[in-house]
Structure 1
Amino acid sequence: MAELNVSVVSAERRVWEGAATQIIAKTTEGEIGILAGHQPMLAILAEGEIRVTTASGEKIAVDAAGGFLSVDHNTVTIVAGKAAVA
């Protein structure tokens, strides 16, 4: 199965980084799901939970407050003002 290279960072530190099969995040326009092959995009994050399904099938929840999400060539970068693994 195709994978995404994911990096979640906050203003203070790197929160999580690794391979994933799916990302679900809350944006100012609503919830969005990202899979491998997703079109390039940039979105503004709303306060809420980011759900990551890792390549090994583990589910990780990250609480995030503000920031943005970028997708380009199966690379997802999430930069949040504040973020922590829930």
Structure 2
Amino acid sequence: MSEMKLNIITPEKVVYDGEANMVTVRTIDGDRGFMAEHQPLVTGLDIGQIQIKTESEDKELAASQGYIEVRPEEINILVDTAEYSDEIDVDRAKNAKKRAEKRLSKDDSSINPKRAEIALRKAMNRLKVTKGRNFE
């Protein structure tokens, strides 16, 4: 399988800078997979996982909204956040999920339901990426 250059960048750091055989992301239109020599594309990303397949391993990250630029030889992903499973604080994600659910269950005009829904989706995405971790 052909390889392509992959860059995943957040405002704080370069999260991934290497080769990949395939990249799967959650776009604003649904899940999409990309391989080398893909036709050029720029589209928005939604909250979801970034899955990276390389010759030697598969990696998964929890990502927030952003953009993806696909070129035949390179993919650039710009997102607000991108975290590997071992970087995610599970307790913090669980607490964020509970807080967001509590906000959404209230009938309070001071609560921004869209913001609470986004917080819930981010927390659930982080927890989904950590599902394979062994907790003791």
Query: TM-score normalized by structure 1?
Result: 0.93
Partner in structure 2 of residue 79 of structure 1: 78
Q: Partners of 1:74 and 1:7 in 2: how far apart?
A: 12
Partner in structure 2 of residue 59 of structure 1: 58
The letter for the 1-side match of 2:72 is H
Q: 1:18–1:54: 8 Å Cα contact kept in structure 2?
A: no
From the two aligned structures, give the one with the greater strand fraction.
1
3-state SS, counterpart of residue 17 of structure 1: strand
Partner in structure 2 of residue 4 of structure 1: 4
From the two aligned structures, give the one with the greater helix fraction.
2
Runs (4 or more) in structure 1 with deviation over 2 Å come to: none
* The structure with more radius of gyration: 2
Q: 1:4–1:21: 8 Å Cα contact kept in structure 2?
A: yes
Aligned length: 85
Q: Which runs of 5+ in 2 are unaligned?
A: 86-136
The letter for the 2-side match of 1:24 is T
Q: Partners of 1:24 and 1:31 in 2: how far apart?
A: 7
Q: Partners of 2:15 and 2:83 in 1: how far apart?
A: 6
Query: TM-score normalized by structure 2?
Result: 0.60
Q: State the Cα RMSD in Å.
A: 0.9
The letter for the 2-side match of 1:54 is T
Q: Partners of 1:24 and 1:77 in 2: how far apart?
A: 13
What percentage of residue pairs aligned between the two structures are identical?
28
